[in-house]
């Protein structure tokens, strides 16, 4: 919708909708959008779940996901084979801020530093690579950062309205350099010790930052395209049909 403000008819209607700020899309604990969002887009503190998967920015053509939502694709409740009470639908994610603190800022990892893979996975991201971008609650000075997460509630790109259950809540958010890029974007909040989630049975649950997210090493896992999640109970809550035995 960029530039649509000068258009007419449908294009201008989209532009007007996109810049509308909707109060119900703001978490009361997330006041950052009031501070930094002065542009024409309506922000959001909430995001849909891709499960334990990292969709690319241009994934619209493929509709791949391990969660209940996927770019340009939709699932019925019957697709949540692991059970609606065990699967995350939506989560909080802090809107962007202009500093190096973890919550609300995206760290950039050079794509050349990541290994390659093939098969059903599109991303080569290792979760520990993202964890290692942070010390003392802030991104390391050597890591590039960007802002903008949550700036556009109408934008279906992973940079604006997606989360995944790979790193535990309130862990760093990372993307690779270049476009298209995958992202590790865990739920984040300003609540003490965790985040609120909405599950498939429409219940709301508070999940601790210390939830079991598997064993993260420098050699993997890269990503998962089928079967049980390697990211512990946290990943099991993300996948809709991983057939995991673990329950939250």
Whole-number pLDDT of residue 7: 52
Q: For position 40, what pLDDT does the model report?
A: 66
Q: Which residues pair with 245 in a beta bridge?
A: none
Q: Which of 28, 60, 61 is nearest to 161 (CA)?
A: 60
Of the chain, the percentage scoring pLDDT greater than 90 comes to 30
Q: Tell me 171's DSSP state.
A: P
Three-state SS for 66? coil
Instruction: Provide the pairing of β-strand 144-146 with 162-163.
Output: unpaired
Model confidence over 141-154: pLDDT tens digits? 888 888 778 888 88
Residue 211 pLDDT: 96
d(CA 153, CA 20): 9
CA dist list (Å): 193 to 30, 46, 169, 197, 237: 15, 18, 9, 13, 18
Cα 43 to Cα 154: distance, rounded to the nearest angstrom: 9
Instruction: Check: CB of residue 163 under 8 Å from CB of residue 106.
Output: no
Which residues pair with residue 199 across a beta bridge? 88
Model pLDDT, residue 118: 43
Backbone angles phi, psi at 146, to 5 degrees: -145, 155
Give pLDDT, residue 233: 94
pLDDT of the chain, 248 residues: tens digit per residue: 455 555 555 577 777 787 888 888 888 888 766 655 455 678 888 999 999 988 766 555 566 788 998 877 888 999 999 999 999 999 999 887 777 888 878 888 765 555 444 444 555 667 888 888 898 888 988 888 887 788 888 887 788 888 999 999 999 998 877 666 778 889 999 899 999 999 999 999 999 999 999 988 877 777 777 889 989 999 999 999 998 865 55
Confidence at residue 117, expressed as pLDDT on a 0 to 100 scale: 46
Model pLDDT, residue 210: 95
122 Cβ neighbours under 8 A, 6+ residues apart: 54, 55, 56, 59, 62, 64, 182, 223
> Length of the chain, please?
248
Q: Which two tokens stand for residue 88?
A: 């995350």
Backbone phi and psi for residue 130, each to the nearest 5 degrees, phi listed first: -70, -45
CA distance 180 to 101: 25
Please, is 178 exposed, middle or buried when counting C-beta atoms within 10 Å of its C-beta (0-12, 13-18, 19+)?
exposed
Residue 206 DSSP code: E
Q: Tokens at residue 35, please?
A: 């501070």
């Amino acid at each position: 919708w960029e530039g649509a403000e000068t258009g007419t008819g449908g294009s201008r209607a989209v532009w007007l909708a996109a810049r509308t700020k909707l109060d119900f899309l703001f978490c009361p604990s997330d006041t950052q959008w009031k501070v930094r969002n002065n542009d024409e887009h309506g922000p959001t503190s909430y995001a849909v779940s891709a499960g334990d998967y990292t969709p690319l920015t241009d994934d619209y053509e493929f509709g791949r996901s391990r969660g209940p939502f996927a770019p340009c694709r939709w699932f019925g409740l019957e697709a949540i084979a692991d059970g609606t009470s065990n699967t995350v639908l939506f989560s909080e994610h802090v809107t962007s801020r202009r500093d190096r603190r973890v919550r609300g800022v995206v760290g950039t990892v050079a794509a050349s530093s990541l290994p390659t893979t093939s098969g059903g996975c599109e991303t080569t991201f290792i979760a520990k690579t993202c964890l290692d971008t942070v010390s003392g609650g802030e991104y390391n000075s050597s890591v590039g950062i960007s802002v903008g997460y949550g700036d556009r509630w109408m934008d279906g790109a992973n940079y604006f309205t997606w989360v995944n259950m790979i790193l535990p809540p309130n862990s760093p958010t990372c993307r690779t350099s270049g476009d298209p890029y995958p992202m590790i974007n865990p739920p984040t909040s300003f609540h003490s010790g965790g985040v609120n989630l909405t599950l498939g049975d429409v219940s709301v649950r508070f999940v601790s930052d210390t939830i079991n997210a598997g064993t993260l090493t420098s050699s993997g896992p890269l990503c998962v395209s089928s079967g049980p999640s390697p990211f512990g109970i946290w990943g099991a809550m993300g996948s809709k049909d991983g057939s995991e035995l673990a329950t939250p």
